[in-house]
Amino acid sequence: MEEKRKILIDTDPGIDDGCAILTALSDPNLDILGIMCVAGNKSLPVVTPNALRLVDFEERDIPVCEGSPCKLKEIGLDLVQENEGVEFHGADGMGESGLSYTNRCLSPVKAWDFMLEKIKEYPDEIDLITLGPLTNIALAIQKDRETMKRLRSITIMGGSFEREGNTTRYAEYNIWFDAEAAEIVVRELADDVKMTFVGLDGTHSCVLSFDEVKFLEFEGGRRGELLSRILTWYMRNYWFKDGILGAVIHDLYTVLCLTHPEVIEEEKMLHCDVLLDDEHYGQTKETEGSGNVRAVMKINHRALIRAWLSVLMPEKQHLIDQLFPEA
Ligand code: BDR
Ligand code: CA
């Protein structure tokens, strides 16, 4: 039997983070070593319970670690987190999921220490997926860069190279939220660790439809029902805030780009800088230099829906083949 892929997930759940985590938890080919939380979509005390909710929901024994409650430049300032106004993800930060949680899997170890411990235990074997701001990763690099270089790969939901940003004209949310952290991660790791950006160029090329989400609800059991509920919240916001009818599930696509590379239709190698000046703060920019990161530029909708549904409801493969035949 092939060995399972060892994964660490760093996240700020978040509806699309929730979809991504639930999918990763359902994937029999993954060995999820831990889930590390970071402030982003909502404050740390709001997002950490969402990770705990999901491991409880799936009845899994996976450590959930708390990470940074604020961006790098705010560490030590003792500020009150002000991002509760980000209502895109609902009051609980996960589309009013209604799920309860316990602290059963809450680890006493901080995210950056946990990450370093696991990499030392499995050097060159771990694929790190980041679905939120890069604060925890930058803190781990500042603590022990040599160990971080022993990641096998890092797949980042963040950035936008050819599209406008979704937070400012230039910046995507995760990178904008802590651009200093993102700048450190790219500068310190891109030459040594295989780095992939799944940014808005890629994610916005694939809009999942209401029909696809309803199919999940009708056939996907309790997972499908939960996903459909939180995605309905998400799609309502996409419609009223962005005029997009359907769901662009950034963080889910990011996980699938790693686990099911057939979903990537177009990619390019480029040299990436993260800009920190006021106007362009948080922009990921392609600059002169040899390509040190891979950017996903287009996602194949059919391949993605097939991969996603097959992970969530393998027992319904005949229906998946019927409704969404291989292109
Ligand atoms: C990213 O920002 C967050 O709101 C989402 O969870 C996703 O990770 C998209 O820009
Ligand atoms: Ca996220």
The pLDDT assigned to 289 comes to 82
How far, in Å, from the CA of 201 to the mean position of ligand 1?
A: 13
| H helix runs in 172-220, sequence order | 173-177, 179-189, 200-203, 210-219
Ligand in nearest proximity to the CA of 41: 1
Pick from 90, 7, 17, 19: nearest CA to 312: 19
For the chain, percent of residues with pLDDT exceeding 90: 86
Q: What is the mean pLDDT of residues 307-312?
A: 98
Share of the chain above pLDDT 70, in %: 97
pLDDT grade, residue 242 (50/70/90)? Answer: confident
Helical packing angle, 111-121 and 135-143, nearest 10°:
60
Q: How confident is the model at residue 96 (pLDDT cuts 50, 70, 90)?
A: confident
Q: What is the pLDDT of residues 181-226, one digit of tens each?
A: 999 999 999 999 999 999 999 999 999 999 999 999 999 999 999 9
Note the pLDDT of residue 327: 83
pLDDT at 208: 96
Task: Please determine, for residue 80, whether its predicted confidence score (pLDDT) is greater than 80.
Answer: no
Question: What pLDDT, on the 0 to 100 scale, is given for residue 84?
Answer: 54
* Ligand 1 atom, smallest distance to 177 CA: 2
Are 89 and 14 spatial neighbours (Cβ–Cβ below 8 Å)?
Answer: yes
Instruction: Mark whether 271 is an active-site residue.
Output: no
Give the residue extent of every domain in the chain: 5-323
The pLDDT of 83-109, averaged and rounded, is 80
Catalytic-labelled residue, pool 10, 12, 16, 127: 12
Centre of ligand 2 from the C-alpha of residue 240, in Å: 20
Could you tell me the distance, in angstroms and rounded to a whole number, from the CA of residue 217 to the centre of ligand 2? Answer: 23
The pLDDT, as a whole number, for residue 148 is 98
What pLDDT is attached to residue 88?
Answer: 73
Name the nearest CA neighbour of 158 among 141, 122, 189, 183: 183
CB 250 within 8 A of CB 158: no
The burial class, CB within 10 Å (0-12 / 13-18 / 19+), for 219 is middle
Average pLDDT, the chain: 94
Question: Greater confidence, 98 or 232?
Answer: 232
Cα 79 from Cα 278, distance rounded (Å):
21
Instruction: Work out which ligand 1 atom sits closest to the CA atom of 172.
Output: 10
pLDDT at 85 over 60: no
For 18-54, what is each residue's pLDDT tens digit?
999 999 999 999 999 999 999 998 899 999 999 999 9
Cis before 14 (ω within 30): yes
Atom of ligand 1 nearest to the CA of 173: 10
15 Cα nearest atom in ligand 1? 6
Lookup: tokens for 216: 């999940």
* Residues 47-57: b if buried by 16+ CB within 10 A, e if exposed: bbbbbbbbbbb
State the virtual CA torsion across 27, 28, 31, 35 in degrees, nearest 10: 30
DSSP state of 79: P
pLDDT, one tens digit per residue, over 105-147 is 999 999 999 999 999 999 999 999 999 999 999 999 999 999 9
What values do phi and psi take at 104, rounded to 5? -50, -45
Q: How far apart are CA 139 and CA 112, in angstroms?
A: 6
Nearest to 97 by CA among 130, 57, 145, 156: 57
Ligand 1 neighbours by CB, cut-off 6 Å: 14, 16-17, 41, 131-132, 157, 166, 172-174, 250-251
Told to judge if 250 belongs to the known catalytic residues of this protein, a careful annotator would answer yes
Q: What's the rounded Cα separation, in Å, for the pair 140 and 114?
A: 9
Assign domain 5-323 one CATH number from 3.90.380.10, 3.90.245.10, 3.40.50.620, 3.40.50.720: 3.90.245.10
How many whole angstroms from 133 Cα to the centroid of ligand 2? 8
The catalytic residue among 10, 17, 92, 250 is 250
8 Å CB contact between 257 and 303: no
Is residue 133 within 8 Å of 181, Cβ to Cβ? yes
Ligand 1, atom 4, residue with closest C-alpha: 41
> In the predicted model, is pLDDT for residue 90 greater than 90?
no
Neighbours of 256 (CB within 10 A): 27
State the ligand closest to the CA atom of 12. Answer: 2
Q: What is the pTM of this model?
A: 0.96
Q: Which helix (H) or strand (E) holds 66?
A: strand 64-66
